[in-house]
C-alpha cells in the first residue's frame, strides 16, 4: 500500500499538492495526470456539497474506488471538506491510496508535513475511518467501498452530475443524511 | 476633481475606449437564433469565476455552498435569459454545459479539460483581469500554458468549435483605480497583447478564437452588458468562418 494526503488548495495554487506525511510535492509527480482514471475527483463533488447544504458539510466523506487501475493496482481515494480558501470557497483534504487488488487501506498515516490547520482535518478523517462509530454512516459507506471488489469504478454515494457513471451503494438525501440503496449497487447517471 | 461614478458607468467608459470597444458589440437576432441549443464548456485557472459564470448564465445567485470544482460535472440544459439594451429579454437554451476545476492537474488529466471540451460548440476560457495585468499570458506563465494546451486540444474538439476568453473581475480593477483614462490605456495595451498572443499560439486555428471580453460575474449590470457582447462576438466569428468557407 502507498498513501498520500492530497492537500487542500487554500492558496488557489495552479498545482494540487500532496504529502506522504513527511514531505510535500506536486500531486502530478506522484500520480501522473495522464494516468488518472476517468472521473477521478480531487475532492468532494459540488453536487454532494449542494445537496447536503452548509450544516452537513463537516459530515461528508466522499470516496472513489478504481479497481484494475493501471494494470493490476487499485486506486482508492477519500475526500472531506477542509475549510475555506482565500476567497471563501470550500477546499478539500484527501487521502490517495494505491493498493494491491485484495488489499484494504490502512489509516496509520503520518501527517507531520501538513500545516496545523490541515493536521486537524487529517486527525478527524483518520479518527472517523478507524473509530467505527455506528451512527457515522458516511464513514461506514467509505469502509464498505474500501472492501476489495472486482467490479468497475464506484463511489460511496451516488452521483448524478458526473461525466462518468459510477456504481454506488448509498445515496445522499437533501440536507445531508445518507441511506443505503434498497436494490444493492446501482449505476446512476442523470443528464 | 474626478466625479464619483458607479463601477458600471466606468465600465461603459472603458468599453468605449479605442482598442476595447471592438470587443464589445450588441447582440442581434441572428446571433440569438444561432446560440439556441448550443453546448458550452467552461475552463480556466483556479478561482477565475467559472462557477459564478455558470450561475449567472442560469440566472442564479452564486451558491452559498461554493467549492472549487473537483471533477467534471454536467449541468442540465438551461435557458439563458439575456436582457438586451432595448429592454427586451430573450431566452437561449444551452445544452449539456460542463464545468471543471482550474488546477493544471485537471487540465492535463484525460478526463479533465479535454473530456469536458470535446463535445462543446463553444469553449469559454475564464481568466481574471489580474492575470491580464500581470501578463500571465507571456511564455511559460499559466495563461500562456493554457493557451498552448488549447492549441494542442483543438484537433480533438468538435469540428468548428469556437473559443472565447472571458476576463473576469473588471469591477475589482475599476474600484481600485481613480485614473480611469490611465486604466483604459493599460487595458487597451494588455488586451491587444493578449489578443495577439492568443492568435499566434492558436495557429492554425486562430479563426476559431472569437476574442476576449472584459466581464464581471459579481456586478450584474456589467455582466449583462458584457454577456451580450460575448454572444455577439462569438456569433460574428462563426459567421466570418462560414463566409470564408463558402468562398473557398
A174 found inside a domain = no
Domain region containing A27: 2-152
Rounded to an integer, what distance in angstroms lies between the CA atom of residue A87 and that of residue A44? Answer: 18
The shortest CB-CB distance from B47 to any of A87, A90, A191 is to A87
Q: Does residue A17 lie in a domain region? A: yes
**Beta pairing class for A62-69 and A154-157:** antiparallel
Q: Which of residues 195-234 of B touch A (CB under 8 A)?
A: none
Report the C-alpha gap between B214 and B209 in whole angstroms.
15
Does B104 contact A14 at a Cβ distance shorter than 8 Å? yes
What is the pLDDT, as a whole number, of residue B85?
57
Of B65, B96, B116, which is closest to A90 when you measure between CB atoms? B65
Contact A79 B65 (CB under 8 A): no
Q: Do A16 and B68 touch (CB under 8 A)?
A: no
Interface touch B103/A34, C-beta < 8 Å = no
Contact A33 B112 (CB under 8 A): yes
A19 falls within a domain: yes
Strands A90-99 and A73-84 turn out to be antiparallel
Q: With an 8 Å Cβ cutoff, are B111 and A164 in contact?
A: yes
For chain B, domains (ranges, CATH) are 7-241 (3.40.50.300)
CA angle B134, B219, B185 (to 5 degrees): 40
Average pLDDT of every residue of chain A: 89
Question: What average pLDDT does the segment B206-228 reach?
Answer: 91
Residue A100 placed within a domain: yes
Label residue B65 by pLDDT band (50, 70, 90): low
pLDDT of residue B27: 55
Element (DSSP H or E) covering residue A140: helix A137-146
Whether residue B63 has pLDDT greater than 70? no
Considering the domain boundaries, does residue A21 fall inside one? yes
CA separation (Å) from A83 to B67, B68, B100?
10, 12, 20
* Residue that has been written with the C-alpha cell 460535472 in this structure: B73
Q: What is the mean pLDDT of residues B79-97?
A: 66
pLDDT tier at A191, thresholds 50, 70, 90: very low
pLDDT of B133 reads 95
Facing residue for B142 by CB, picked from A14, A34, A163 = A14
Strands B78-83 and B89-99: antiparallel
CA distance A159 to chain B (A): 10
In chain A, which residues have their Cβ closer than 8 Å to the Cβ of B108?
Answer: 28, 33-34
Selected residue with higher pLDDT from A100 and B72 = A100
The answer to the question of residue A173 being in a domain is no
Domains in chain A: how many in total?
1
Cα B231 to Cα B56: distance, rounded to the nearest angstrom: 14
Residue A191 falls inside a structural domain: no
In chain A, residues with a C-beta closer than 8 Å to the C-beta of B112 are: 33, 36
pLDDT at B24 over 50: no
Question: With 70 as the cut, is the pLDDT of residue B187 above it?
Answer: yes
Residue A56 inside a domain? The answer is yes
Are the beta carbons of A39 and B46 separated by less than 8 Å? no
Among chain B residues, the shortest Cα distance to A64 is held by B71
Amino acid at each position: 500500500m502507498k498513501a498520500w494526503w492530497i492537500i487542500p488548495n487554500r492558496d488557489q495554487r495552479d498545482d494540487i499538492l500532496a504529502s506522504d506525511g513527511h514531505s510535500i510535492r506536486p500531486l502530478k509527480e506522484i500520480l501522473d495526470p495522464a494516468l488518472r482514471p476517468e472521473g477521478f475527483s480531487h475532492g468532494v463533488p459540488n453536487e454532494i456539497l449542494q445537496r447536503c447544504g452548509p450544516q452537513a458539510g463537516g459530515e461528508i466523506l466522499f470516496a472513489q474506488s478504481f479497481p484494475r487501475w493501471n494494470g493490476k493496482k487499485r486506486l482508492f481515494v477519500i475526500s472531506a471538506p477542509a475549510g475555506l480558501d482565500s476567497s471563501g470557497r470550500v477546499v478539500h483534504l484527501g487521502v490517495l491510496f494505491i493498493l494491491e487488488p485484495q488489499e484494504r487501506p490502512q489509516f496509520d498515516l503520518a501527517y507531520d508535513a501538513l500545516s496545523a490547520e490541515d493536521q486537524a482535518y487529517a486527525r478527524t478523517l483518520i479518527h472517523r475511518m478507524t473509530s467505527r462509530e455506528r451512527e457515522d454512516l458516511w464513514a461506514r459507506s467509505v469502509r464498505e467501498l474500501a472492501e476489495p471488489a472486482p467490479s468497475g469504478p464506484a463511489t460511496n454515494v451516488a452521483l448524478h452530475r458526473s461525466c462518468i457513471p459510477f456504481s454506488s451503494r448509498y445515496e445522499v438525501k437533501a440536507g445531508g443524511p445518507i441511506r443505503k440503496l434498497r436494490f444493492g449497487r446501482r449505476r446512476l447517471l442523470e443528464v | 476633481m474626478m466625479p464619483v461614478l458607479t463601477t458600471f458607468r466606468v465600465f461603459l467608459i472603458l468599453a468605449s475606449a479605442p482598442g476595447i470597444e471592438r470587443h464589445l458589440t450588441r447582440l442581434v437576432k441572428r446571433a440569438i437564433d444561432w446560440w439556441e441549443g448550443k453546448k458550452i464548456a467552461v475552463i480556466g485557472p483556479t478561482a477565475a469565476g467559472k462557477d459564478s459564470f455558470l450561475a449567472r448564465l442560469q440566472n442564479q445567485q452564486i451558491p452559498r455552498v461554493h467549492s472549487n470544482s473537483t471533477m467534471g460535472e454536467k449541468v442540465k440544459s438551461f435557458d439563458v435569459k439575456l436582457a438586451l439594451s432595448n429592454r427586451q429579454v430573450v431566452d437561449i437554451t444551452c445544452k449539456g454545459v460542463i464545468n471543471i476545476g482550474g488546477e493544471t492537474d485537471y487540465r492535463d488529466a484525460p478526463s479533465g479539460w479535454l473530456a469536458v471540451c470535446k463535445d462543446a460548440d463553444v469553449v469559454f476560457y475564464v481568466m481574471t483581469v489580474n492575470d491580464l495585468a500581470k501578463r500571465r499570458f507571456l511564455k511559460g506563465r499559466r495563461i500562456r500554458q493554457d493557451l498552448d494546451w488549447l492549441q494542442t486540444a483543438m484537433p480533438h474538439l468538435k469540428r468548428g468549435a469556437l473559443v472565447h476568453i472571458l476576463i473576469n473581475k473588471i469591477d475589482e480593477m475599476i474600484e481600485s483605480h481613480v485614473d480611469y483614462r490611465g486604466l483604459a490605456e493599460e487595458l487597451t495595451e494588455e488586451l491587444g497583447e493578449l489578443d495577439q498572443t492568443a492568435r499566434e499560439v492558436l495557429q492554425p486555428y486562430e479563426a476559431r478564437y472569437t476574442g476576449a471580453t472584459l466581464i464581471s460575474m459579481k456586478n450584474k449590470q456589467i455582466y449583462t452588458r458584457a454577456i451580450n457582447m460575448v454572444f455577439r462576438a462569438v456569433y460574428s466569428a462563426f459567421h466570418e468562418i462560414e463566409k470564408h468557407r463558402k468562398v473557398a
